[in-house]
Amino acid sequence: MKNLSFELYNNPERCYPGSAMAGQLILETTKPINCSKITIEPNGLSKVFFYRSIGHGRSRGYSNQEKYFSGSIILYEPVDNPSAILPPGKYSYPFRFLFPNNCVPTFNDPKGKATVKYELIAKVHIRRGRNLTKKQPLTVCPILDFNTDLDLCRPVQLLSQNSELQVTVSFF
């Protein structure tokens, strides 16, 4: 049995542009692993999909994606003995990386036509076998500066005739 998990020191739901994400990758195995390396890959990706009318009641779908950032951090690689085997046990690999200063906040269109998502992907690269992979979603929040955007300091007034309306305001 092999188990791969993240232990993050920061809240993965509150990441900010320019901030650090730190933690450790935990690998537990009950059998020896013929491992060539262990990596984590922080990624930021946007995707968009939409239809545009091309006339006569027909439409055409368009899609695009863009990588905002990606990287690969090697946590383990046997240098002296490339054919080394990890014996059964529990292993911990610390890591730390910085989000770029120009990160766009996480976004998910309710209709599913546009997304901006961030994630950590851990991989145990197994020789002559199927790699072990674990994904951890991350949420990048916008930075709100109340000193530069005075509109953020103004009171919010909500007028509604609907008594079933529920509003939640949260401050971090």
What would the pLDDT profile of 20-44 be if each residue is shown by its tens digit?
A: 999 999 999 999 999 999 999 999 9
Residue 2, pLDDT score: 85
Return the closest-CA partner of residue 7 out of 126, 140, 118, 136.
136
Q: d(Cα 153, Cα 146) in Å, to the nearest integer?
A: 6
* Rg from Cα positions in the chain: 22
Residue 136, pLDDT score: 95
pLDDT tens-place string over residues 40-52? 999 999 998 888 8
pLDDT band at 60 (very low <50, low <70, confident <90, very high): confident
Round the average pLDDT of the chain to a whole number and report it: 85
Return the beta strands (E) in 10-162 as ranges: 20-29, 35-55, 58-70, 73-76, 89-98, 107-108, 114-126, 132-138
Tracing tokens 């990386």 back to the chain, one arrives at 97
Residues 38 and 76 sit within 8 Å (Cβ to Cβ): yes
Higher pLDDT, 129 or 152: 129
53-74: average pLDDT: 88
Q: Is the pTM of this model over 0.95?
A: no
Q: Is the model's pLDDT at 61 over the cut of 50?
A: yes
pLDDT tens-place string over residues 82-130? 677 899 999 999 999 999 998 889 998 888 789 999 999 999 999 888 9
